[in-house]
Chain A
Amino acid sequence: MMRIEIVKRPQHSALFSALSPFIALFLTLIAGAILFSILGKNPISALYSYFVEPLTEVWSIHELLVKAAPLILIAVGLSVCFLSNNWNIGAEGQFIAGGIAGSILPVVFPDFQGWYVLPIMLLLGMAGGMAYATIPAFLKVRFNTNEILTSLMLVYVAQLFLDWLVRGPWRNPQGYNFPETVQFSDSAILPAIWPDSGRAHWGFALAIIAAVVVWFMLSRTLNGFEIKVLGRSSRAGRFAGFSAGRLTFFAFLVSGALAGLAGIAEVSGAVGQLRTSISPGYGFTAIIVAFLGRLNPLGIIAAGLVLALSYLGGEAAQISLGISEKSARIFQGIILFFVLASDSLIYYRIRIVSRLSDTALKGA
């Protein structure tokens, strides 16, 4: 009989701290190979078309950046939440709220044009995401309500509200009854970075800036210290004079603003109008990105690119292998499992002992 035994390390392991994301990715690839074999595909060529092929063409790298932008923006905000022990899992709703608020200008006032339109849209998007994130924060601080459940419930509400908007009051009157708003005018479109070669828009640059700013805040300022102290031990934080309630608001506002920014950047940079669905679950996938990046904004940039690749790989695998693109979501789920499991190695030593030697020891 084999048994797994966990022993707490006296100190957390710096080695595994750095290695754990790579161990997780490696294990995911192995699990993927097994999955493809079960589906009757050659695992090597399947993994190649999943994770390498999308990187061999320029337009495809543009698509990678398009998908990575929202993931990084949202995950950077989530890292502030998760580090401070605020479980905001409603980023998908804040993303939608940002997309809606930022679209007010181009949809309701399409004649309003000029260079200032885009900055106002981005600010409105951030404000929208922020406002929506305030709800679970307020309920948590004021009424002690579990933020996991409230933030998640608000995702469904936001999705239904968006559905109503684009089928009802915001539907394009010349749109043959399609549930879509008008196409945004040029001054409301977030431009492409290198328009000659592909679609990647400035949202990706915003994501990098956000990651660097939040990284600086977390690692070099008192505010960042406060987040980490309160996140690890609310008691120690209270003795230091930090306020958990204030921090909850701060964390939710930051992550709401970034999710909202991601929403309007996606709508104005990648889609160009509002539709009934503006996200393939970015708000949830970003949770995986945040953990794969070990809640470090710079790590999150890399993790965002990896998860973006899984979306592209899914599309590529559907075309070249005939595997459903939904396989990407299985990959994403498996990654998170392996990340969490490998993170255990940082704090615990894992030993596999056989019952036999155990009893032999006791007998001796």
Chain B
Amino acid sequence: MTMFEAILLTVATAATPLLIAALGELVVERSGVLNLGVEGMMVMGAVTGFAVAQYTGSAWLGMFAAILAGAAFSLLFGFLTLTLITNQVATGLALTLLGLGASAMIGESFVGLPGVRMDSLYIQGLTDIPYVGKVLFGQDPIFYISILLTIGVAWFLFRTRAGLTLRAVGDNHTSAHALGVPVVRIRYLAVIFGGACAGLAGAQLSLVYVPQWVENMTSGRGWIALALVVFASWRPWRILAGAYLFGAVTIGQLHAQALGIGVPSQFMSSLPYLATIIVLVLISRNKRLTLMNTPTSLGKPFVPDR
């Protein structure tokens, strides 16, 4: 394996959880709901995935359990914000705080245990192609899911009637409601999809990225995913680009740390967070452009009149 190939592979591994979580949140926000609980759902996915893989010995079962856990956890947010019409920002924060706390308690007995790693794909002949074989045909299954998910979300949002309806709900829930569109039901489905994606992203962390359980192992990735949605101005392909950019920053700083370039490791580790801030500033500086792209009903409460 060449150096180039190795770097590409690690960048993809670092980018995949961001990509999946951000795609889920993209669909949620396109439906007009702001769920700040991505970090919490992701960490619940990570701990569930690890636990189930640990007990069953199957990384695949762990992954499915993580998806279910993320979706179930997001329902809590959905019930409060959509049925009880609580403040979305505060409720999302609550979801993150509860997720971090609950996962820490659930995972306490798993700290330090070796995890179950999800096997990478291997196709005789194809995977052995020099330079591109490993990148195209030798990665973990969740990587391929993330790419399919990008295509799927892009197709769904902009090429299907259901996607159009979902965007309409996000842009003007009152008009959509007046047209007979079931606003709340669509938002519930979007929130659950977002939760499932966050759970899958968490499973990638504890089954592929670092197959073990560490408390708070998402370390802000859920928040970076939220920033990616803004960065991508709510478009799926730009999320893909953004996720790989952040993957490159993460891996770049790790390599720089390993080479020992004389900058304290803590400064290098803070680069992804600083990069997030800089990117957000650059993208939101143009107020008109941001306003044009933001789903108009984003974060606004919807009380159906009867």
Contacts and interface: CB of A to CB of B under 8 A. Distances in A.
Interface of A: 4-6, 8, 87, 89, 139, 143-146, 148-150, 152-154, 156-157, 160-161, 163-164, 167-168, 284-285, 287-288, 291, 324, 326-330, 332-334, 336-337, 340-341, 343-344, 347-348, 350
B93 A89 contact: yes
Contacts, number: 135
Contacts of A287: 90, 93, 97
Interface of B: 36, 76, 80, 83-87, 89-91, 93-94, 97-102, 104-105, 108, 219-220, 223, 226-227, 230, 264, 266-267, 269-270, 273-274, 276-277, 280-281, 284-285, 287, 290, 303, 306
Contact of B270 (A156, A332, A341): A156
Nearest to A334: B98
Given A160-B269, A330-B105, A344-B86, A284 B97 contact: yes
A145 B303 contact: no
A156 B222 CA distance: 13
A153 B86 contact: no
Contacts of B220: 152-153, 156
Nearest to B39: A152
Q: Report which residue of B36, B226, B270 has the largest number of chain A beta carbons within 10 angstroms of its beta carbon.
A: B270
Given A150-B277, A332-B97, A341-B80, 14 more contacts: A6-B83, A144-B284, A145-B281, A149-B276, A157-B270, A160-B269, A160-B270, A164-B266, A167-B266, A288-B97, A329-B101, A332-B101, A340-B80, A341-B86
B134 to A, nearest CB: 32
Contact of A149 (B223, B287, B290): B223
A287 B101 CA distance: 15
Q: Report which residue of B36, B76, B99, B273 has the largest number of chain A beta carbons within 10 angstroms of its beta carbon.
A: B273
A315 to B, nearest CB: 14
Contacts of A327: 105
A139 B274 CA distance: 13
A149 B226 CA distance: 8
A146 B274 CA distance: 14
B284 A340 contact: no
A139 B277 contact: yes
Contacts of B276: 149, 153
A145 B280 contact: yes
A217 B167 CA distance: 43
Given A144-B290, A168-B264, A326 B223 contact: no
Contacts of A337: 76, 80, 91, 94, 98
B104 A326 contact: yes
Q: Report which residue of B94, B223, B227, B287 has the largest number of chain A beta carbons within 10 angstroms of its beta carbon.
A: B94
B101 A333 contact: yes
A353 to B, nearest CB: 11
B273 A153 contact: yes
Contacts of B76: 337
Given A340-B80, A341-B80, A164 B267 contact: yes
Contacts of B219: 156
5 closest Cβ pairs, A-B complex: A329-B101, A333-B98, A164-B266, A336-B94, A326-B105
A327 B104 CA distance: 9
A153 B83 CA distance: 31
Given A330-B102, A350-B84, A340 B90 contact: yes
25 contacts: A144-B285, A145-B277, A145-B285, A148-B89, A149-B226, A149-B227, A156-B270, A157-B274, A160-B267, A164-B266, A287-B97, A291-B90, A328-B101, A329-B100, A329-B104, A330-B105, A336-B90, A336-B94, A337-B76, A340-B86, A341-B80, A341-B84, A344-B85, A347-B85, A348-B85
A329 B215 CA distance: 13
A284 B94 CA distance: 10
A329 B97 contact: yes
A149 B280 contact: yes
A145 B283 CA distance: 8
Nearest to B215: A326
Contacts of A6: 83-85, 303
B93 A143 contact: no
A139 B280 CA distance: 10
Contacts of B93: 89, 287, 336
